Amino acid sequence: MSQTTVITPIAGEPVVTHTTQLVGEETIIPIIDEEIRLDKRVVDQGGVRIVKSVTNEDVTIEEPTIHEAATVDRVAVNRLLEPGEELPKSRRDGDTMIIPIFEEVVVTEKRMRLTEEIRIVLSRTETVTPQSTTIRRESVRIEPIAPSDDLLSK
């Protein structure tokens, strides 16, 4: 004859329960329940300190600048245009722009007379003007911080 016993451990206590009986013998089987206790704590393992500093540096910049100027010359022409002659148009001759100026005059017949031309000459000069200014530059230094022994001993 055999008998089977179901064993349920109770948390926190070692449990010895019923026995299993075999024909002619008795055997006791202890059942042990183990627990784990966890504790958490903060442990200082060191760190880093970041130090940022700003330095000012005076620099001189030499950048060319461009200056444009125009001179105006008035050139007298005083030429009568022939009947049916096309009016001269504004034109360019190299760096010079030529703009014709007209006037109507009374002659026995009415004709156009070119009185003058305006000539505009463009010139360009480039000069380098040193200018001083301050430039800020940041630098970063990283310093290790050793762990404190206070928390390790707790």
pLDDT in tens, 38-91: 778 877 788 888 888 888 888 888 888 888 888 999 999 988 888 889 999 999
What phi, psi does 132 have (nearest 5°)? -100, 140
Q: List, for residues 16-44, the tens digit of each pLDDT value.
A: 444 454 555 666 777 777 778 777 887 77
Using left for φ > 0, alpha for ψ between -120 and 50, and beta otherwise, residue 45 falls in alpha
Contact 75, 108 (CB under 8 A): no
- DSSP state letter for 109: S
Lay out the sheet containing 96-106: strands in order across.
Answer: 47-80, 110-145, 96-106, 91-93
Residue 140 pairs in a beta bridge with 52
- DSSP state letter for 44: -
How far is the C-alpha of 81 from the C-alpha of 114, rounded, in Å? Answer: 7
Using 50, 70 and 90 to split pLDDT, how confident is the model at 1?
Answer: very low
How far is the C-alpha of 52 from the C-alpha of 143, rounded, in Å? Answer: 11
pLDDT given at position 8 = 52
